[in-house]
Chain A
Amino acid sequence: MSFLDRSLTVANPGFNRWMVPPAALCIHLCIGQAYAFSVFNLPMTKLIGITQSAPGDWKLTELGWIFSIAIFFLGASAAVLGRWVEEGGPRRAMFTAGLCWAVGFFISAIGVYLHTLWLIYLGYGVIGGCGLGLGYISPVSTLIKWFPDRPGMATGMAIMGFGGGAFIASPLSVWLMQRFSTPTHVGVAEAFIGLGVIYLIFMWVGAAIVRTPAPGWKPEGYTPPAVAQKLITKNDVYVYDAIKTPQFWLIWWVLCLNVTAGIGVLGQASAMSQEMFPGKVTAIAAAGFVGLLSLFNMLGRFFWASTSDIIGRKNTYFCFFAIGTVLYALVPWTGEIHSVALFVLCFLVIITMYGGGFATVPAYLKDMFGTRYVGAIHGWLITAWSMAGIFGPVLVNYIRQYQIDHGVPKAQAYNVTMYVMAGLLVIGFFCNLFIKAVHERYHMRTDGETALGAAAEAGAAAAGRLTGKPASA
Chain B
Amino acid sequence: MANANQNGTTAWQLVLAWGFVGIPLLWGVSETVINAMKLFQ
Which A residues are within 8 Å of any B CB, using their own CB? 11-16, 18-19, 22-23, 25-26, 29, 161, 164, 166-172, 205, 209, 220, 281, 284-289, 291-292, 294-295, 298, 344
Contact = CB atoms under 8 A, between A and B. Distances in A.
Contacts of B38: 284-285, 287-288
A13 B17 CA distance: 19
A22 B21 contact: yes
A188 to B, nearest CB: 20
Contacts of A170: 28, 31
Given A19-B13, A26-B20, A168 B8 contact: no
26 contacts: A11-B8, A13-B7, A14-B6, A16-B13, A18-B9, A19-B9, A19-B13, A22-B18, A22-B20, A29-B24, A29-B25, A161-B21, A164-B25, A164-B28, A167-B31, A167-B32, A171-B27, A205-B20, A220-B4, A285-B41, A287-B35, A288-B35, A288-B39, A295-B29, A295-B36, A298-B29
A16 B14 contact: yes
A15 B6 CA distance: 8
Contact of B25 (A11, A167, A291): A167
Contact of A289 (B18, B24, B39): B39
Where chain B touches its partner, the secondary structure class is helix
Which of B7, B14, B36: most chain A CB closer than 10 A? B36
B24 to A, nearest CB: 5
Interface residues of B, number: 28
Nearest to A295: B32
B12 to A, nearest CB: 11
A15 B9 contact: yes
A166 B29 CA distance: 9
A288 B8 contact: no
A220 B31 CA distance: 39
B41 to A, nearest CB: 8
A14 B18 contact: no
Nearest to A287: B35
B17 A23 contact: yes
A291 B32 contact: yes
Given A14-B8, A14-B9, A22 B36 contact: no
Contact of A29 (B7, B21, B41): B21
A302 to B, nearest CB: 12
A19 B8 CA distance: 11
A30 B31 CA distance: 17
Nearest to B11: A16
Contacts of B32: 167, 291-292, 294-295
A288 B21 contact: no
B9 to A, nearest CB: 4
Contacts of A287: 35, 38
A295 B8 CA distance: 35
